[in-house]
Structure 1
Amino acid sequence: MTQVTTTGADLPRLRELNSLTVVRALRDHPPSTVTELSRRTGLSRPAVDVIAQGLVADGWAGVLEPGASSAVGRPARRYRFRAGAGHVLGIDVGVHKILALLADLDGTIVHSVRHAVDAQAGPDERLAELDRVIDACLAGADKTAADVWAVTVAVTGAVDPAGRTSFFTPLPGWKDVDLTGRLAPRFACPIVIENDCKLAALAERWKGAATDADDIVYLLGGMRNGAGLIIDGVLRRGYGGAAGEIGALKQVRWLNAPEHLQNCPGVPDTVEPDDAAAWVFNAAREGHKAARTAVRRYVKDLAVGAAALVLALDPQVVVFGGGFSRSADLIVDPLRQELERLCLRMPEVRASTLGADSVALGALRLALNEVDRRVFGDGLSAPVAPRRA
């Protein structure tokens, strides 16, 4: 048996690592006693007792004093992770709306603000609305930019390493927008810009339909189809940020698939183009023949790209999300049947459980990951917001 010798120089590092271990044990569980923390971490009870008191003094933990009890003996005090020490901001800049979610370090949402925006709004108008949404979200939670430890902004279109949608985006004039530069004067913390499909995939694994899976293909179904990929539990961006953009290949038929719904015979002239799909789905439920045909054709086109991703990646789960997931009752079963016909091994096909908030929730998760990497990665100082590199 090899004996490990601990030098005096190693002891502060060992104490720091043990403190990190206790913080993580607190963060992932309800308020806990020293005995419970000792059992959970493998550290001795006296060591945990000292560490827990130090975490309270440093601001990482709080104490729940025992209440009155008829039990014999004095109840043990419980320690809890102080999730309110910092906050993260997740923002979804979509075609029709901007949604901001503010959460504490446990991922509990403390405030949200959603504003509608014109689909044809130019960059200046959309950015001005983004500023108003951020202002309202922070004010509604009685917080300032200094209370935010990480910001993630989701945008439509593949995001390159510079944080721009230089490949493609449906947002008018958005290719040249520098979101990081826009937000940097306001937030000193890390700012991450990411694709909406990728973040929706992250959300489904965090709080949605794929919490039990490490290999996931997320399909965003809407007037724009897209995909997000999680392999071995890791969100895959690709070398240049364009992983999952299989719809760019015309033979996949994703680009034109929504036209089956928009051009469905029988859609009243009074229905706006953006509302045509909703009309078709409702009509299909009522047995409208042309509407049912349009939905079937949309699903067949969606299945081509989905099958290509399944064959390439062999995921455990395919999650169908996006705006059209509200009509998953009409899509998931036919999509499953198409994939069974096209794929060698059939993954589970599930509908999203997160609805319209999935992208912003994924943005929150990525912001929390950034905090974990910066604050809980190598060291543990008093609670201070990480600075942008």
Structure 2
Amino acid sequence: MGRLTGGDPSLLRRINSAVVLHALRAAEAPTLTDLVNVTGLSRPTVEGVVEGLMDTGLVVEAAVDENAARRQGRPARRFRFRVEAGHLLGIEIGPHRIAALLADLGGRVRGSAHVEVSETASADERLDQVRVAVADLLKRSGVARASLRAVGVASPGIVEADGTIRLGTALPQWTGLPLGERLRRSFRCPVLVENDANAAAVAEHWKGAAVGSDDMVFVLAGLSPGAGSLIGGRLHRGFGGAAGEIGALHLLGREATPEEVLSTTGEPLHPLDEAQVARVFTLAGQGDAGARAAVERYLRRLVHDVAALVLALDPELVVVGGWAAGPAGVLEPLRRELARYCLRPPRVEQSLLGEAAVATGALRLALDHVEEQLFAVEGTVTARRRSGV
């Protein structure tokens, strides 16, 4: 599409279309009169827009209640937004598994899939498993790949705007991987790549513990904790996409490595994987002195890392997720220590989405993209105000 100016008729059509479509999505089978009242547009304009949206397949005339028609005569035409007119994917690429969620254009999940993957798998092997999971999900759901409107992908690491992993130490061969470019070869739609903690923050704000909290931090508690944050309801990535990488703070102070922090013997924990660490937490729960000391060191490190972020951002809420959120019992220590370190301690809550948080956030990012690009609700309404329409 070419450059649009304030007086361009095509801009006016886009604005009117976005306003009507937004009203259709928010209502249940409105009539033309309903749409005129809600949008403030003239009836001929609304009629023209609705006909155009029907031509694109985004809007259809709603079914008529035959009983009501017999009682009341010919009813007014009603219309609905076709959530089935396209589909979205949210994909999590993690150390041990690939998870995918399929949703309609209303964001309602229609299917899910996950496959286990070795933590030592190469980048090519891991991407092959992504394709396997997606192909299986689409086949079981009866959805054509051409129906996909956008795909959101969440992965560990620092993610650049084009989807390249600038730094990713959690997965083999991940640093420098052009993840967005590689995945776009598999889909005929936009592919958006985001850091996993950032995606989880978006998910909790959408339908988790942070609903209604626009200033929040999500902490992905794991071997190397990460965090995602929303400021004023918007995801804060930072200048280079590295905002929230609290797991790197120990490098700045030349403090103990995670292998040393979680050691129960005085020797670095090896291999440093989730199975080994889970064993440390289990031993701590059974009263093992060395394991309890290791867990206390881990919690103290986590509290310091989170406190640094809280002091910088002053969030209303901190949501804790990740595998360590449960076995480590991190909530009470975080609440207690943040009260000591922070001028205004935030609320601290556990994730309501659990292991689904990352894939759900990836799905929400795909939905955001569709709403912005296809429906253009926010952007075009702003343009409408500016142009005085």
What TM-score does the superposition give when structure 1 sets the normalisation length?
0.82
1:65 pairs, out of 63, 66, 79, with 63
Cα distance change of structure 1 residues 61 and 130 upon mapping to structure 2, 3 Å threshold: same
Q: In structure 1, what is the Cα distance between the partners aligned to 2:196 and 2:283?
A: 29
Aligned partners of 1:280, 1:13: CA distance in 2, in Å?
61
User: What residue number does 2:308 align with?
Assistant: 308
Q: Deviations over 1:261-305 (max 9, x none)?
A: x5358xxxxx99523444555666677776655444322211111
- What is the match of residue 19 of structure 2? 21
| Amino acid in structure 1 at the alignment position of 2:303 | A
In the alignment, what sits opposite 2:350? 351
Aligned to 2:113: 113
Structure-2 residue corresponding to 1:137: 137
Q: State the SS of the aligned residue for 2:171.
A: coil
2:175 partner letter: K
Secondary structure class of the residue paired with 2:159:
coil
Between 78-87 and 219-228, the greater mean CA deviation after superposition: 78-87
Task: State the SS of the aligned residue for 2:23.
Answer: helix
User: Secondary structure of the residue that 2:72 maps to in structure 1?
Assistant: coil
Match runs of 1:202-241 below 5 Å:
202-241=202-241
Tell me whether 359-368 or 26-35 shows the greater mean CA deviation. 26-35
Determine if contact 1:157/1:195 at 8 Å carries over to the other structure. yes
Shift in CA distance, 30/359, structure 1 to aligned 2, threshold 3 Å: farther
Q: CA deviation at 1:106?
A: 0.9
Q: Give 1:96 shift.
A: 0.4
1:67/1:252 Cα in 2 relative to 1: closer, same or farther (>3 Å)?
farther
Contact 1:246 / 1:252 at 8 angstroms: preserved in 2? no
Deviation by residue 1:218-240 (Cα, 9 ceiling, x = unmatched)? 11012231011211221122222
Go from structure 1 to structure 2 and tell me whether the alpha carbon gap of 1:28 and 1:319 turns closer, same or farther (over 3 Å shift): farther
* 1:153-168 → structure 2 map (5 Å cutoff): 153-168=153-168
Alignment correspondent of 1:55: 53
**After the TM superposition, which residues 1-20 of structure 1 pair with which residues of structure 2 at under 5 Å, given as runs?**
13-20=11-18
Q: Residues 157-185 of structure 1, C-alpha deviation per residue, up to 9 Å, x if partnerless? A: 11123422232321011224322332233
Contact 1:99–1:113 (CA under 8 A) maintained in structure 2: yes
Q: Which residue of structure 1 aligns with residue 338 of structure 2?
A: 339
Secondary structure in 1 matching 2:330: helix
What is the identity, as a one-letter code, of the residue corresponding to 2:351?
A: S
SS in 2 for 1:166: strand
Q: Name the CA shift for 1:111/1:150 in 2 (closer, same or farther; >3 Å).
A: same
Aligned 8 A contact 1:253 1:302 in 2: no
| Count of residue pairs brought into register by the alignment | 365
Match of 1:374 in 2: 373
CA distance in 1: counterparts of 2:201 and 2:239, whole angstroms: 18
Q: Which AA in structure 1 matches 2:338?
A: L
How far residue 217 of structure 1 moved from its aligned partner, in angstroms, is 1.1
How far apart are the structure 2 equivalents of 1:256 and 1:234? 33
**Structure 1: runs of 5 or more not aligned:** 1-8, 266-270, 380-389
Q: Contact (CA 8 Å) 2:197, 2:228: kept in 1 or not?
A: yes
Partner of 1:263: 263
CA separation of 1:312/1:49 partners in 2, compared to 1, >3 Å: closer, same or farther?
Answer: same
TM-score (norm 2): 0.82
User: Once the 2 structures are TM-superposed, how far is the Cα of residue 249 of structure 1 from its aligned partner?
Assistant: 2.2
Alignment partner, residue 385 of structure 2: none
Q: Which amino acid aligns with 1:317?
A: L
Deviation, 1:246, is 2.8
The alignment partner of 1:103 has SS state of strand
Q: Who is 1:41 aligned against?
A: 39
Give the distance between the partners of 1:280 and 1:31, measured in 2 at CA: 56
Q: Please state how far the C-alpha of 1:60 moved relative to its aligned partner.
A: 1.5
Alignment partners' CA distance in 1, 2:287 and 2:61: 60
**Residue 373 of structure 1: CA displacement?**
2.4
Sort the Cα spacing of 1:47 and 1:120 in 2 relative to 1 into closer, same or farther, 3 A.
Answer: same
Local SS of the residue matching 1:90: strand
Q: 1:115, CA displacement in angstroms?
A: 0.2
Rate the CA distance shift 1:58–1:33 in 2: closer, same or farther, 3 A: same
Quick one: distance in 2 between partners of 1:38 and 1:326?
51
Segments of structure 2 that go 5 or more residues without pairing to the other structure are 1-6, 266-270, 381-389
Structure 1 residue 32 corresponds to structure 2 residue 30: yes
Structure 2: how far apart are the matches of 1:255 and 1:41?
60
Q: Is 1:365 aligned to residue 364 of structure 2? A: yes
Give the counterpart letter for 1:139 in structure 2.
Answer: K
Which one-letter code corresponds to 1:196 in the other structure? D
Q: What amino acid maps onto 2:19 in structure 1?
A: T
Structure 1 CA distance for aligned equivalents of residues 139 and 240 of structure 2: 36
